[in-house]
Amino acid sequence: MIKQEWEQLYRDISLCQACDLAHTRTHTVPGEGDHSAAIMMVGEGPGADEDRTGRPFVGRAGQLLDKMLDAFDVSRQQVYICNIIKCRPPGNRNPASGEMRACLPHLTRQIALVNPSIIVCLGKIAAGCLMHENFAITRERGVWQEKDGRSYLATFHPAALLRDERLLIDAWRDMRAVAQRYAQQQGGAHE
C-alpha cells in the first residue's frame, strides 16, 4: 500500500507539468533515502549535477553534506533527502514563489509518507517554505521549532558553507544538535 503510494508519487513528480520548469529540466529530482527515516533533510532545488543525474545533493554541496552526516555516524541511506522544488531552475537562480507553490504538494506527500520526527531545512529558502516566511537564516538557524508533531531545525545550505568557511562552525553545531536529538529519540545519548 505504502509502496504503491511512493510509486505513484514518484510517477507524478516525473510527469509533473505544474510549472514552467518542466520545459527546461533534464530530469526531475524527487528525493532519495530511507522511506521511513526519522530525519528528513530538505534543500532548495536541484543544481546542474542533480538535473543531470536525477539525484539530490550529488554535486559539491552534496559531498560536503555527506561528510557532515558521516561525522555524526549518519549515512545518506539513513535519512531522506529531497528539495522544496523537484526541477532545476535555469542558471541555478532561486526558485520563484509560484514554482515553490506549484511543487509543494509533492513535498507535502513526501513528508506525510516518510513521517519524520526531525526535519532539517538546508538554507533560507527551505526554512522560509517550511518554518515561516522571511526566515532570517543567520539569526534563526539552530533554533528548534515544533510544528505538527515534528521538530524543525534550519541550518546553512551546504553551498553557502562552500562559499564562506566561517559559517562552518555554526553548521557543525547544528548538525550536532540534530544528531543529539535523534539519539535522544532513539533512547541513547550522542557525544
How far apart, in Å, are the Cα atoms of 46 and each of 1, 35, 79, 180? 29, 20, 18, 28
The answer to whether 88 touches 48, Cβ cutoff 8 Å, is: yes
Minimum Å gap between C-beta 170 and ligand URA is: 18
Phi, psi (rounded to 5 degrees) for 98 = -65, -35
Nearer to ligand URA, 33 or 47 (CB): 47
Euclidean distance between CA atoms 42 and 121, whole angstroms: 5
Instruction: Copy the grid coordinates of residue 40.
Output: 528528513
Minimum Å gap between C-beta 155 and ligand URA is: 12
Instruction: Copy the grid coordinates of residue 76.
Output: 545518506
Nearer to ligand URA, 67 or 185 (CB): 67
Minimum Å gap between C-beta 115 and ligand URA is: 22
Minimum Å gap between C-beta 61 and ligand URA is: 5
Nearer to ligand URA, 59 or 128 (CB): 59
Minimum Å gap between C-beta 31 and ligand URA is: 9
Provide DSSP, 52-106.
HHS-SS-SHHHHHHHHHHHHTT--GGGSEEEESSSSPPGGGPPPPHHHHHHHHHH
Which residue is nearest to ligand URA, using beta carbons? 43
Nearer to ligand URA, 54 or 142 (CB): 54
Residues in contact with ligand URA by CB under 6 A are: 43-47, 50, 56-57, 59, 61-62, 83, 159
Nearer to ligand URA, 162 or 183 (CB): 162
